Amino acid sequence: MRLPATHLRWNLYGAGLENLGRDGKPERLPLPQPAPNEILVRINAVGICFSDLKILRLGEAHPKIARDLRKHPAVMGHEICCTVVQVGEALRGRFQVGERYIVQADVYVNGRVQAVGYALDGGYSQYTVFGEPVLSGDAGCYLLRCPDHLSDAEAALVEPWACVVASYRIQPRPTPLPNGRWLVILPHAPMVRYRCGGVETFRPHPPCPPLPQAGEGERTGALPCAPTPLSHPVGEGLGVRATQGIALLLTDSRGNPLAEAFEQAAHALGMETHRLETPADALYDSERIRALRDAYAPDGFTDILIFGDPTPEVLEAAQDALCYGGALSFTCHHKMPPVPVDVGRLHYDRLLVMGTSSWDITDAYRHTRDASLRKGDRLLLFGAGGAIGQMQLFYALTRPEPPAQVVVVDRHPERLEPLREMGVPLAQHAGIELQFYCNADADPDAQQAHLRALCPHGYDHIMLLASSAESVALTYPLLTDGGVLNLFAGIPKGQKVPLDLTPLASRHMRLLGSSGSTMDDIAECLRLVAEGALPARKVIGAIAGLNALPEALQAVQSHRYPGKVVVFPQLPNLPLVGLIELHERLPEVAAHLEAGRYWTRDAERALYRVCSTMGENDATDR
């Protein structure tokens, strides 16, 4: 295969579009050469994700970047389809030139994440090298062979589909993490028999690799020490196990027999134990929690269990003291004042906050339902305009055991139309009540009133697709008993929303966060896309060449197109064009669209032919 001497690449040197590339253009650089244990791949297609816009907006302040971009620029783009063009000597029996792959962006090595498009170079480049992190991580190789019949564009979009499917496969773990880092706060309570039944049957647990450190580019959907099962529990298999566990017991100086039970469970697991006694009036001290984290668990606690009557300040400090994937559980026996909740950490760090009115705090874990849709559920998709909303709606309407009702909300009426057009026939076929609501110009009280009128008994599942803290405060009260609010859209860490956490205990409501996917998720979605069960190609709204990336990013930011924008790096001079515009601008390609608007492999082949006659360099050999 003939390879060029140079190629184009968009480096990001800081926050803002002005720091993307040089003088608004990609850089022309020497073609990288793979080492013996590396492969060189050609980037065929890469989808633009809203996560790219967050990186562009925050630069090195983004929690998944955390490095000096002026010295070590990032290459964004993690929704990738690529072809092997050169194989290092040590890998020649494992990879072949011409093989086509998609990329699982969440790469883990020894429990630490190095995500493609963040810590590792992404797809906004004509060529890139994949080496040890991608080819031999905790889950083995993070490249998946792409079936021949898929187009490059739809193959690239398997990754966002995997994120959607993964958001419904979260299973909160049922107990404190064995061999984790526990902080247990126990009052005296002589008339109450507090328990933690979940730790009473613990057996020794083997140690696992250390936790991801803060600022190492976490991208959620983490993998464990070994590959996760099909479903992935929150806080288990997410890089939260420690080399040696610790149980820190902060107790009223008058004592509590439950302290001995925790010590026995910790000893059975080989965990280090510390009991700290304090006067009753100093037990619930937010500053003490922060100090204990600094002294005993600098990376954060995997589990904080608070018995008695914690104050909002203590619950806020406890959230801040959790590690990635950590869980806060508390007992609650009366209505509590609002508690500031870091909704950004719920999403990015996969925290779990839960309560119980029971004397057994394990009930807080046991009563936490998973994130799956159940037959008869009432689902609210809030902020559903755009491609991810289309994926979410399609997935919900095509479940074997479908929800009874789906309510779709967005501020832009024109963005609801593609959802209506796709969703109404599917809902009618499945017998699902499907309703749409444009909340433009409506204040939060009016929105709540309208959504309550549509579903008077509350929603079983709310998928929050709007990346605003205000949306959390608006939708949280709309949950029914046992309902789940899933924060799918990324909200910056540190944004706190005052929430009444009493229903977490009294009504078993749950707050979850979801982002990214596991290898099992993306492998399953690749199979479903290949079989036609997930319509990846039908959510494509526009295409562009590599030179048009800045305009394409701005188009995504302004919601110019109703679907995904896919960039073809090998066609650098292809302008940004919506599929509905192809009839005028590229009629030879438009002739091969399905129903005049859906991308096909034949349309992609026509695009490559047209661009090759226009003199595009190294378009493709497919």
Its pTM stands at 0.88
Examine residue 525 and state whether it is found in any structural domain, yes or no: yes
User: Residue 615 has what pLDDT?
Assistant: 61
Domains in the chain, number: 3
Which residue in 325, 353, 320 sits closest to 220, CA to CA? 325
Which residue in 142, 123, 125 sits closest to 133, CA to CA? 142
In this structure, what token pair is assigned to residue 356?
């119980």
Residues 526 and 567 in one domain: yes
Examine residue 604 and state whether it is found in any structural domain, yes or no: yes
Residues 223 and 340 in one domain: yes
Of 435, 453, 482, the residue at which a domain comes to its end is 482
Of 368, 395, 420, the residue at which a domain comes to its end is 368
User: Residue 365 has what pLDDT?
Assistant: 86
Examine residue 607 and state whether it is found in any structural domain, yes or no: yes
Examine residue 533 and state whether it is found in any structural domain, yes or no: yes
Residues 354 and 395 in one domain: no
Residues 148 and 226 in one domain: no
Residues 259 and 137 in one domain: no
Residues 154 and 176 in one domain: no
Range(s) of the domain holding residue 344: 172-368
Residues 359 and 387 in one domain: no
Which SS3 state, helix, strand or coil, does residue 545 take? strand
Examine residue 126 and state whether it is found in any structural domain, yes or no: yes
Of 341, 368, 395, the residue at which a domain comes to its end is 368
Residues 341 and 258 in one domain: yes
Residues 120 and 181 in one domain: no
Domain of 77: which CATH number?
3.90.180.10
**Mean pLDDT split into 10-residue runs, the chain, 622 residues:** 94 96 96 97 97 92 86 97 97 96 91 87 98 93 97 97 94 89 94 85 53 36 30 43 78 93 92 95 96 95 96 97 94 94 91 92 83 95 94 96 97 93 96 97 96 97 94 97 93 92 93 89 96 94 97 95 96 96 96 95 97 62 47
Q: How many residues does the chain have?
A: 622
Residues 160 and 16 in one domain: yes
Residue 299 CB burial class (10 angstroms; 0-12, 13-18, ≥19):
middle
Tell me how far apart the alpha carbons of residues 449 and 451 are, in angstroms, rounded to a whole number.
Answer: 6
